[in-house]
Amino acid sequence: MSGFQINLNPLKEPLGFIKVLEWIASIFAFATCGGFKGQTEIQVNCPPTITENKTVTATFGYPFRLNEASFQPPPGVNICDVNWKDYVLIGDYSSSAQFYVTFAVFVFLYCIAALLLYVGYTSLYLDSRKLPMIDFVVTLVATFLWLVSTSAWAKALTDIKIATGHNIVDELSPCKKKAVLCYFGSVTSMGSLNVSVIFGFLNMILWGGNAWFVYKETSLHSPSNTSAPHSQGGIPPPTGI
């Protein structure tokens, strides 16, 4: 049987070249989402005790359990006699974020395995009927899961922007007191998270497009391998015993 032998020719074909693009796109997908850290700030004062604005900050990031992100005043500063650490942001979006990132990591690993198969065991892949079929099924499933995971993550991202934006002033109990004046300060730019959504849909397009090239290698499209003279010396297999 064929052993491991490097053959870079498959990378010049659409099947291998698109797989490289899928591998790169999956890295950007989980890196831009999983590596995010941000914070939202509000300005607080309570005249006449405190006339200048004091900053209260809530830090959040992947996996976006906002209901665990408490507000923190400056160290050693008592702002309006409120224990700000008892108050948190609203929402838990960890399920959508972790589903998206975990799936992207699995895709990354699968692409590595597939590329090793394409490059190191080219003849084994082309001569087999099962391997291309497995690759085709995985490609279809991955396309669907990219659509589902990215759509769920895009919806969660929209909710995260709302939960960390201007609305937090209306939701915080201390800010509803007449003696406490709260103003929304700022929130970290979520440009990298927007990029993660873009790469999610880009991955879906790549995997969907590559399905055709994988399909062409399967027995559903190509004639049965047993009909081709693959045996040594080009002699076709016997028709009977």
> What would the pLDDT profile of 213-227 be if each residue is shown by its tens digit?
999 888 776 555 444
Please report how many Cα atoms fall inside a 13 Å half-sphere around the Cα of residue 47, on the Cβ side: 3
Please report the DSSP string for 148-196 in residue order: HHHHHHHHHHHHHHHHTTTTHHHH-SGGGSTT-EEEEEEE---HHHHHH
Residue 13 reports pLDDT greater than 70: yes
What average pLDDT does range 78-88 have in this prediction? 91
Question: In sequence order, which residues have a C-beta less than 8 Å from that of residue 219 and are 6 or more positions away?
Answer: 129, 132, 133, 225
Angstrom distance (rounded) from CA 164 to CA 40: 6
Q: Provide the pLDDT for residue 226.
A: 40
| pLDDT one-digit tens code per residue, 97-117 | 999 999 999 999 999 999 999
Q: Are strands 71-72 and 181-187 parallel, antiparallel or unpaired?
A: unpaired
User: Using an 8 Å Cβ cutoff, are 148 and 171 in contact?
Assistant: no
| pLDDT one-digit tens code per residue, 121-171 | 888 887 888 998 999 999 999 999 999 999 999 999 999 999 999 989 988
Between the two ends of the chain, the Cα-to-Cα distance in Å is 24
| pLDDT one-digit tens code per residue, 176-189 | 888 899 999 999 99
Q: Provide the pLDDT for residue 1.
A: 45
Q: Provide the pLDDT for residue 224.
A: 52
Closest CA to 132 of 118, 146, 142, 119: 118
Segment holding 43, helix H or strand E? strand 37-46
Q: Provide the pLDDT for residue 25.
A: 97
The dihedral region occupied by 76, where left means phi > 0, alpha psi between -120 and 50, and beta the remainder, is left
Angstrom distance (rounded) from CA 108 to CA 110: 6
Average pLDDT over the chain, rounded to whole? Answer: 88
| Maximal CA-CA distance, the chain | 103
What does DSSP assign to residue 226? G
